[in-house]
Structure 1
């Protein structure tokens, strides 16, 4: 699912590679370019956590996109980060656990975190660039099931994911101004 979701996100973002990525990414304080860098850093970080398996801290390797490179080339970096995370998830034994500030997790948890980062930040960047890049209901349902066990029911999964992450409103529920997922193994 990481590979397909990564390709879908990249396809949507490639449409806007020549636009102005200095504009804010959706409702974030980051520019679209900064959100893209955060996304690549996060995916590499999750892979690193699965590989190093620390119990109480982030890893010491940080990855970033070349600030001087054109966005089209940086999207290649996002593809690389997605493949590295997918490989780390695939290679991690079922018993592997690693630290994350929102719950020690296993390979499926880090895969879900990667999916959440990919879909939600692609949505953010798309909003900033004037594109509608909503996460699919199928992928959103996987993320919700793994990371948001207390998510409200009765709405489309993509709407619920965007509400859980403070991006949109749901009927009858207040807009979230703070949030976090639960990556613990259940």
Structure 2
């Protein structure tokens, strides 16, 4: 699905996040059971670890919005730890005895936590993120980016097609990547903005970030 990201920016919603997670889970369910030890795209993690990392991202964003007075100067202090040298440092780990179906259930549940927090947190609430103190919409957009881009990494490792909706990509680009080009297809542009690929006339980024601070 393709299009332009020049259209008027619409807010990123809890429904957008829920759609991204459900599309990702539906795609990842097609992976052969033996593929989960494959490396995830250009990451240094295998596909199982990458789903745990994505689940952890979604959980952590939900947790940031959780306290009555969300922290503005740091993360809610869960213990994040890696299971191996070089592996992702997570608070969330899936029980390997539950297999890939259990792993994807962990992903779906973590996504649902963030969906619920975005839906029920007043829009004026702010919470810390290293890329800018943000609002519920910002955390929804961050969750969408994490989901779309890491599912891209996973799809490469698992040998699966992955082409998320252009309108969803457009909304998160407008919310988090104000310097991204507005005349290129949204999905390749999001991959460029997150250091995954080059665009015509724009080399692949070796450093990148988003800007979670609310625009108004």
TM-score (norm: length of structure 2):
0.83
Secondary structure of the corresponding residue to residue 123 of structure 2: coil
Distance 1:58 1:122 in 2: 25
Per-residue CA deviations over 1:146-170 (Å, capped at 9, x if unaligned) read 1101101211000100000011110
Structure 1: unaligned runs, 5 residues or longer: none
Query: If each structure's helix is expressed as a fraction of its own residues, which one has the higher value?
Result: 1
1:83 paired with 2:98, answer: no
Q: Write the deviation string for residues 118-141 of structure 1: whole angstroms up to 9, x where unpaired.
A: 110011000011112133211110
Query: For 1:54 and 1:66, how far apart are their aligned partners in 2?
Result: 30
Matched, 1:70 2:99: yes
Q: How far apart in 1 are the matches of 2:125 and 2:32?
A: 37
| CA distance in 1: counterparts of 2:75 and 2:32, whole angstroms | 31
Instruction: Name the CA distance, whole Å, in 2 between partners of 1:151 and 1:130.
Output: 28
Question: Residue 123 of structure 1 aligns with which residue?
Answer: 152
Of 20, 25, 44, the match for 2:40: 25
Total equivalences in the alignment: 186
Residue deviations 1:23-79, cap 9 Å, x none?
110111111111101000000000000112111111123322224431111101111
The aligned residue for residue 36 of structure 1 is: 51
Structure 2 unaligned blocks of 5 or more: 1-15, 79-90
Counterpart in 2 of 1:178?
A: 207
Q: Which has the larger radius of gyration?
A: 2
Larger RCO: 1 or 2 (CA < 8 Å, sep 6+): 2
Aligned-pair Cα RMSD in Å: 1.2
Q: Which residue of 1 aligns with 2:132?
A: 103
State which drifts further: 68-77 or 116-125.
Answer: 68-77
Counterpart selection for 2:143 from 114, 123, 132: 114
Residue 51 of structure 1 corresponds to: 66
- State which of 15, 20, 29 in structure 2 corresponds to 1:5: 20
TM-score, with length taken from structure 1: 0.96
Preserved contact between residue 94 and residue 102 of structure 2 (Cα < 8 Å): no
